[in-house]
Structure 1
Amino acid sequence: MSERARRRRIGVEIWIVLGLSLGKSGVYALVNIVARLTEGTPLADQSTALNVSRSARPYLDLTYQLLSIGFALVPVALALYLLSANGRSAVRRIGLDRARPLRDLGVGFGLAALIGLPGLGLYVVGRAVGITVEVQAAALNAAWWTVPVLLLSALQNALLEEVVVVGYLMERLREMRWRAPAIVVTSALLRGSYHLYQGIGPFVGNVVMGLVFAEYYRRRRRTMPLVVAHTVLDVVAFVGYALIPVEWREALGIR
């Protein structure tokens, strides 16, 4: 196979993987933000909810939640499968293994702190200037399984985004001989795109997060610390926000 044909094949593969996962989410988010901006209601007066209940019956709701989490991980399995086509372990290739657990945990928590605190500040500023919608981080009905499902959802988000947007995409673009800055920026813009439904502020914040995470991967070739960091950020957003006093949540625009 010629080099040109190989690159074309990789390009088609990338479009398929993204079309089945976060690329599709990015397109829907773009349409959503256009709809929000043109409906006549300011972004500051609009809201969105994450982790919503799917049924009033608790065990049926639990079934739907687990199915949603499970099927959302299929693109992760696909990306890892494709990266292992040459017989090399995909998890070792992108640093998703447990080769250095303590260091990965330390770096992950450090990245979470580096991204999380400024991200919260950006959210508050975005709400104040009217470029960010009100985000309800968890809208599940209260049940014994609510917190475990939120933890699983946080892990699922982390695996999906870090494996597909960082590990898989950056490896494939590198094989296509893209330059490092273009790879890093593309990964970051993709990350920002599927958060557009939350407003302009979250888009900018996630692009910045994407730049940091992609550059870390470019230098270290490990996604495990990124998965740790992303999981911590989502756990705090999904579960921890409930511990914030009501008056603080109202001031931050969180229900």
Structure 2
Amino acid sequence: MTRLHDWLRPTPPPQTDPPLDPGQRRALWIEVTIVLLVTFGLSGLSGILSLIETALQPGQLSDQSVALNASRSTFGWIDLGRQLLGIARLCAWAALGLYLLWRSGLGPERIGLGRHPRWRRDLLPGVGLAALIGLPGLALYLVATAVGANLTVVPSTVDDHWWRLPALVLWALANSAAEEILVVAYLISRLRRLGWSENASLAASALLRGSYHLYQGLGGGLGNVVMGLVFGRYWQRTGKLWPLVVAHWLIDAVAFVGYTVLRDRVSWLP
């Protein structure tokens, strides 16, 4: 019990930067606000509106469905182009977070995203985190859908093209990179710099993650808040971001690709 308590307690980073003056604080708040409005903050507001909209529809939430990856054109090559543009947008969001952190002295190495991830230090913990979050997350989704608190989530409705599976794998990678860099490393680092406590910055990160998944329903939002708490605390304790990227990529890739492969073979899949 003591070891669990020690793990749950954050390890504050060493304070090496001088305190911010009022002008610097204002500038940093402006930066954070703009970044969130351009990226996941706006997605969070959209998720809240989507949840309200679906709640106002007749029937239970589970009677409605939402696709995580959908076809974007009836023409295959245009669909591919739009899929790649969506992937590129997420990669640009991740690059924006990395650039702003680098400009402030927090290069990739300092946020736990070194050039060469190591098997024991980065990849194995990522697999463990994927199992820790993915299996209970699936159970939560099934329960939430059964009680009518979640929409029926369809991981992919992309048409059967030769590029479908590679595109879904790239979507999973882009999602994981953008979310873990911006929502964990960038946001928590910036809130630290603004004087927020470790627990407060962790809560803000987790709530942001949950908000932009509310389009899936309350179950999707709650499950991602829990994921945000686990992932954020892991980063606060270890300073390693690669395991989070690996875990998130595995969860999404298994969901996207697994559903695409099995949907015509398993009767209970939507």
Q: For the superposition of Structure 1 and Structure 2, which TM-score range results when normalised by the shorter chain? A: over 0.9
Residues 1:115 and 2:137 are matched in the alignment:
no
Residues 1:165 and 2:183 are matched in the alignment:
yes
Offset, 1:81: 1.2
* Structure 1 equivalent of residue 158 of structure 2: 140
**Which of the residues 101, 109, 123 maps onto 1:92?**
109
| 1:100-139 deviation line (CA, Å, top 9, x unaligned) | 4212100000000000000000001001111010011011
Residues 1:4 and 2:22 are matched in the alignment:
yes
Structure 1 window deviating more from structure 2 (188-197 vs 235-244): it is 235-244
Aligned ranges 1:39-188 → 2 under 5 Å = 39-86=57-104, 88=105, 90-102=107-119, 103-188=121-206
Report the Cα distance in structure 2 between the residues aligned to 1:243 and 1:59, rounded to whole angstroms. 22
Residues 1:210 and 2:228 are matched in the alignment:
yes
Report the Cα distance in structure 1 between the residues aligned to 2:232 and 2:197, rounded to whole angstroms. 13
Structure 1 window deviating more from structure 2 (92-101 vs 212-221): it is 92-101
| 1:38-93 deviation line (CA, Å, top 9, x unaligned) | 1223201111011111112211211111111112222211111111114x352112
The aligned amino acid for 1:73 is C
Partner SS, residue 72 of structure 2: coil
Report the Cα distance in structure 1 between the residues aligned to 2:29 and 2:262, rounded to whole angstroms. 45
The aligned amino acid for 1:78 is L
Q: Is the 8 A contact 2:209 2:228 kept in 1?
A: yes
* Structure 2 equivalent of residue 223 of structure 1: 241
Q: What TM-score comes out, normalization by structure 1 length?
A: 0.94
Structure 1 window deviating more from structure 2 (141-150 vs 49-58): it is 49-58
- Gapped regions of structure 2 (runs ≥ 5): 1-18
- Judged with a 3 Å threshold, the aligned counterparts in structure 2 of structure 1 residues 194 and 239 are, in CA distance, closer, same or farther, namely same
What do you get for the CA RMSD once the two structures are aligned? 1.6
Report the Cα distance in structure 2 between the residues aligned to 1:246 and 1:200, rounded to whole angstroms. 28
Offset, 1:140: 0.4
The aligned amino acid for 1:61 is D
Report the Cα distance in structure 2 between the residues aligned to 1:76 and 1:20, rounded to whole angstroms. 12
Residues 1:193 and 2:200 are matched in the alignment:
no
- Gapped regions of structure 1 (runs ≥ 5): none
Structure 1 window deviating more from structure 2 (169-178 vs 68-77): it is 68-77
Partner SS, residue 103 of structure 2: coil
Report the Cα distance in structure 1 between the residues aligned to 2:40 and 2:180, rounded to whole angstroms. 11
- Judged with a 3 Å threshold, the aligned counterparts in structure 2 of structure 1 residues 21 and 141 are, in CA distance, closer, same or farther, namely same
- Judged with a 3 Å threshold, the aligned counterparts in structure 2 of structure 1 residues 123 and 247 are, in CA distance, closer, same or farther, namely farther
Q: How many residues align?
A: 251
Report the Cα distance in structure 2 between the residues aligned to 1:116 and 1:2, rounded to whole angstroms. 40
The aligned amino acid for 1:233 is I
- Judged with a 3 Å threshold, the aligned counterparts in structure 2 of structure 1 residues 132 and 249 are, in CA distance, closer, same or farther, namely farther
The aligned amino acid for 1:90 is G
The aligned amino acid for 1:192 is G
What is the percent sequence identity of the aligned residues? Answer: 46
